[in-house]
């Protein structure tokens, strides 16, 4: 089965991001395809490289990055939601006249069309978070 996964919550707001991460891992282990993981609303915070949680907490952003790189996952951050929350990749930061970017390796910024395409190309779209 081919899945698109949508994540609407930040890594430390609720359990949604961690549950989605575990779902994607399990689906890959069972031989399913993950067409795309789309981060929307506060879920875009899963793609920042500047988060520093307490030492006894997991760095979910790094776990998403590593999983994406290991499996060639398309980890897409919604551009509108990202801009509202101060997340920029290098090209978007330059376009906006900013002097820094903060997207962790393996993620990319794009628009809602990527979510629509995922829904069309996949057998199922699974949403984590409100």
Condensed to tens digits (0 to 9), the pLDDT of residues 38-62 reads 999 999 999 999 998 888 888 999 9
Token pair 């910024």 is at which residue? 109
**What is the pTM (predicted TM-score) of this model?**
0.95
Domains and CATH numbers, the chain: 2-128 (3.40.1260.10)
Give the gyration radius of the chain's Cα atoms. Answer: 14
* Catalytic residue ranges: 78
User: What torsion, rounded to 10 degrees, do the Cα atoms 37, 42, 48, 53 define?
Assistant: -120
The three-state secondary structure class of 2 is strand
Q: Please check the confidence at residue 130 and state whether its pLDDT lies above 90.
A: no
Strands (E), 44-98: 75-78
Give residue-wise pLDDT tens across range 104-118: 999 999 999 999 999
Q: Are 67 and 24 in contact (CB under 8 A)?
A: yes
State mean pLDDT over 19-28.
98
């Amino acid at each position: 089965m081919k899945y698109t996964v949508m994540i609407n919550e930040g890594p430390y707001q609720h359990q949604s991001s961690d549950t989605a991460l575990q779902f994607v891992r399990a689906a890959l282990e069972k031989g399913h395809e993950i067409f795309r993981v789309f981060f929307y609303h506060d879920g875009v915070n899963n793609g920042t490289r500047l988060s520093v949680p307490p030492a006894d907490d997991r760095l979910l952003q790094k776990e998403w990055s590593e999983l994406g790189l290991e499996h060639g996952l398309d980890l897409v951050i919604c551009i509108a939601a990202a801009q509202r929350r101060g997340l920029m990749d290098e090209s978007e930061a330059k376009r906006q006249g900013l002097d820094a970017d903060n997207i962790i390796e393996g993620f990319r910024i794009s628009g809602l069309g990527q979510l629509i395409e995922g829904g069309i190309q996949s057998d199922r779209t699974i949403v984590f978070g409100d």
